[in-house]
Structure 1
């Protein structure tokens, strides 16, 4: 889905009072879906799982379907459009995640930039295995009754939390946002468009957070490439097996 179509789907859910979940596929989430069966099932169960990576588009092209760059819906590009829609329609947004001080900075910035929308939030540093702590967070969200809930606690923690509690959340759209709160607070910088369009955003982020992201990219990217190569090899072998025999 392109960014305009995702924004339209979220907007429609808010206006019509439905509930949808917007997850995303990048190389890291693809690898997680191969390692964790529950994660794969979660991505298959959501209403939207958009492409969040040039690497995914390149893999799709390698497998035979060449899609334009318009189908890359990274949060750097998507979130401003979502927030503009919220400002236009006076929607409310609840952010769940990040450190308390970073969350507060992000909320203050958003309130200044989008004065017609309503913003609230809760930090992500609570015990997600504690039923009482989870219930307190859910009650706070439901008390606000936001149109959109953005959960930014990193993969796969955020997906696990949403999978467990989505039925209890009184919201119209749940969006999995990763480090989006840190970005809006200015703690994590956005990748320049030129680098991102070349498919090198992973390298940009690796140079800024090498300790946290080294394993994800230096091991994850080759693992992803291997998955795609094996898939193509298996597909070619299957096509050969299904070819009709030729009589001598």
Structure 2
């Protein structure tokens, strides 16, 4: 690869795209809300939230010195991330804490990048993270889910116009910000029925001796805060447009 080619790629990645039209921010927010609210669409799209959830577990496990054993993504949109290391202590606590807040925090990071019009950088970072996650997937459905998701993001970033890329990126970020919240309510609903005795919140309760409901509230507080802050960031783009 020539120096000119590397320079072109670098400029493509880190250059700012033109400001999107203001209406795009509102239309994409409404689209993401529809996907989350309309159950048939949510059943399919929720896989993206699960990918982010399990990716959050995996990333924090590695950052805290644990050894990642593998990730499974299931057809029912559940998932499992296995890591090796001390069964107690801060590393395990932060690893468990990361899952339910990861989609919203990723969405918040995406909103920050969109605030700087770094749309191409956002899409390529998504592809890179999905490729890293694919290495650790341990079941067929999980591998297919990550490959399909990554292929869609790559195709949009490589083959479509800047306008399509912007619309796709905004829908994706809005979806993570909004879609990060419902799983917390689903978690508590299942817990109240005794159907998730080994949930992240219950495991945190066992490690910290703080009630599981407290951890559910922490998940919800972080996710709502990310939605509000990210929403204001994106609204700034609307007002600027």
Indicate the TM-score class for this superposition, using the shorter chain for normalisation: under 0.3
Bigger fraction of residues in strand: 1
Task: Return the index of the structure with the highest Cα Rg.
Answer: 1
Bigger fraction of residues in helix: 2
| Larger relative contact order, structure 1 or 2 (CA cutoff 8 Å, min sep 6) | 2
Q: TM-score, normalised by structure 2?
A: 0.26
Q: TM-score, normalised by structure 1?
A: 0.25
